[in-house]
Structure 1
Amino acid sequence: MSHSTRLIRQTLTIARRDFQATVFTPTFLLFLFAPFLFMGLSGLIGGLGAASIAERGTRNLRIVAVASPADRNVLIAADRNLRALFSEREAPPTLELRAATGDPEAIARNNFKRDDVQVVAVLYGPLEHATVLHAPIGTRSSRYLAGLAEQALRIRSGGAAPLATVRQVEMREGATVPIGRDEGGFAAVFALFFLTLLLAGQVVSSMAEERSNKVIEVLAAAVPLEAVFLGKLIGMFGVALLFVTFWGVVAVNVASLLPGEIGAAVSGMTPAIGAPTFALLFLAYFTMAYMLLGAVFLGVGAQASTPREIQMLSLPITIFQVAMFGLASAAAAQPDGIAATVAAIFPFSSPFAMAGRAASEPGLWPHLLAIGWQLCWVALTVTLGARAFRRGVLQSAGPRWRMPFTRAR
Structure 2
Amino acid sequence: MNRAVQSGGRLPLLQAAWVIARRDFTAILFSRSFIFFLLGPLFPVVVMVMAGGVGAQVQSAAASVDVGVAMQSADVDAMLAAREDLAAQLGGAVPPMVAVARLQPGETYDARTVLENAQGSLAAVVSGSPQAPVLIATEGHVGRWQGMVGMIAEAAQEPAARAYPPVATRVVGTSGASQSSGRLRTAQGAQVMLFLLIMLLAGMVLSNLVEEKGNKIIEILAAAIPMDAVFLGKLFAMLGVSVVGIVVWGATGASVLFAAGQSLSDFANPGVGWPVFLLLFALYFAMGYLLLGSIFLAVGSLATTVREVQTMAMPASMMQIVVFFLASLAVTDRGGWVEAVAIAFPLSSPFTMLARAAMEETLWPHLLALAWQGLWVALFVKAGSTLFRRRVMKSGPRSSGRRGLGRAMAGLFSKGSGGAA
Q: TM-score, normalised by structure 1?
A: 0.62
Q: Indicate conservation of the 8 Å contact 1:327/1:349, yes or no.
A: yes
Structure 1: gaps (5+ residues):
44-84, 91-159, 399-409
Q: Counterpart of 2:279 in 1: which secondary structure?
A: helix
Q: Counterpart of 2:270 in 1: which secondary structure?
A: coil
Opposite residue 357 of structure 1, the aligned amino acid is R
Q: Indicate conservation of the 8 Å contact 1:278/1:358, yes or no.
A: yes
Percent identity over the alignment is 42
Q: Distance in 2 between matches of 1:374 and 1:218?
A: 31
Which residue in the other structure is 2:13 paired with?
Answer: 7
Which residue in the other structure is 1:380 paired with?
Answer: 379
Q: Distance in 2 between matches of 1:397 and 1:300?
A: 22
Which residue in the other structure is 1:192 paired with?
Answer: 194
Which residue in the other structure is 1:134 paired with?
Answer: none
Which residue in the other structure is 1:250 paired with?
Answer: 252
Instruction: Write the deviation string for residues 312-341 of structure 1: whole angstroms up to 9, x where unpaired.
Output: 113112202211111111112333443222
Query: What is the correspondence of 1:201-220 to structure 2 with a 5 Å cutoff?
Result: 201-220=203-222
Q: CA deviation at 1:178?
A: 6.1
Q: Distance in 1 between matches of 2:194 and 2:395?
A: 36
Q: Distance in 2 between matches of 1:333 and 1:396?
A: 52
Q: Distance in 2 between matches of 1:266 and 1:395?
A: 58
Q: Distance in 2 between matches of 1:333 and 1:371?
A: 22
Q: Indicate conservation of the 8 Å contact 1:292/1:378, yes or no.
A: yes
Q: Indicate conservation of the 8 Å contact 2:270/2:359, yes or no.
A: yes
Which residue in the other structure is 2:36 paired with?
Answer: 30
Query: What is the correspondence of 1:206-355 to structure 2 with a 5 Å cutoff?
Result: 206-258=208-260, 263=262, 267-355=266-354
Q: CA deviation at 1:264?
A: 7.7
Say which one has the larger Rg.
2
Q: Distance in 2 between matches of 1:230 and 1:168?
A: 58
Q: CA deviation at 1:42?
A: 9.6
Instruction: Write the deviation string for residues 160-196 of structure 1: whole angstroms up to 9, x where unpaired.
Output: 9994562444639xxx966610000001111110111
Q: Counterpart of 1:256 in 2: which secondary structure?
A: helix
Q: Indicate conservation of the 8 Å contact 2:206/2:296, yes or no.
A: yes
RCO greater where, 1 or 2, for CA within 8 Å and sep 6 or more? 2
Instruction: Write the deviation string for residues 44-94 of structure 1: whole angstroms up to 9, x where unpaired.
Output: xxxxxxxxxxxxxxxxxxxxxxxxxxxxxxxxxxxxxxxxx99xxx9xxxx
Q: TM-score, normalised by structure 2?
A: 0.60
Q: Distance in 2 between matches of 1:294 and 1:371?
A: 17
Q: Indicate conservation of the 8 Å contact 2:294/2:384, yes or no.
A: yes
Instruction: Write the deviation string for residues 363-398 of structure 1: whole angstroms up to 9, x where unpaired.
Output: 112212211211221121121122112122323699
Q: Indicate conservation of the 8 Å contact 1:344/1:350, yes or no.
A: yes
Q: CA deviation at 1:268?
A: 2.6
Q: Indicate conservation of the 8 Å contact 2:299/2:313, yes or no.
A: no
Q: Counterpart of 1:305 in 2: which secondary structure?
A: coil
Q: CA deviation at 1:204?
A: 1.1
Q: Indicate conservation of the 8 Å contact 2:296/2:313, yes or no.
A: no
Q: Distance in 2 between matches of 1:10 and 1:264?
A: 43
Query: What is the correspondence of 1:95-174 to structure 2 with a 5 Å cutoff?
Result: 163-164=165-166, 166-169=168-171, 171=173
Which residue in the other structure is 2:23 paired with?
Answer: 17
Q: Counterpart of 2:346 in 1: which secondary structure?
A: coil
Q: CA deviation at 1:202?
A: 1.2
Opposite residue 243 of structure 1, the aligned amino acid is G
Q: Distance in 1 between matches of 2:356 and 2:47?
A: 25
Q: Distance in 1 between matches of 2:374 and 2:233?
A: 18
Q: CA deviation at 1:30?
A: 1.3
Q: Distance in 2 between matches of 1:304 and 1:226?
A: 18
Q: Distance in 2 between matches of 1:177 and 1:383?
A: 43
Which residue in the other structure is 1:390 paired with?
Answer: 389
Query: What CA RMSD, in Å, does the superposition of the two structures yield over aligned residues?
Result: 3.2
Q: Distance in 1 between matches of 2:47 and 2:182?
A: 23
Q: Counterpart of 1:302 in 2: which secondary structure?
A: helix
Structure 2: gaps (5+ residues):
5-9, 50-88, 94-161, 398-421
Q: Distance in 2 between matches of 1:387 and 1:42?
A: 44
Considering fraction of residues, name the structure with more helix: 2
Change (3 A) 1:303 1:40: farther
Which residue in the other structure is 2:102 paired with?
Answer: none
Query: What is the correspondence of 1:362-373 to structure 2 with a 5 Å cutoff?
Result: 362-373=361-372
Q: Across the two proteins, how many residue pairs are aligned to each other?
A: 280
Q: Indicate conservation of the 8 Å contact 1:302/1:388, yes or no.
A: yes
Change (3 A) 1:266 1:320: farther
Q: CA deviation at 1:255?
A: 2.1
Instruction: Write the deviation string for residues 117-171 of structure 1: whole angstroms up to 9, x where unpaired.
Output: xxxxxxxxxxxxxxxxxxxxxxxxxxxxxxxxxxxxxxxxxxx999456244463
Q: Distance in 1 between matches of 2:310 and 2:21?
A: 25
Which residue in the other structure is 2:419 paired with?
Answer: none
Q: CA deviation at 1:227?
A: 1.7
Q: Indicate conservation of the 8 Å contact 1:179/1:270, yes or no.
A: no
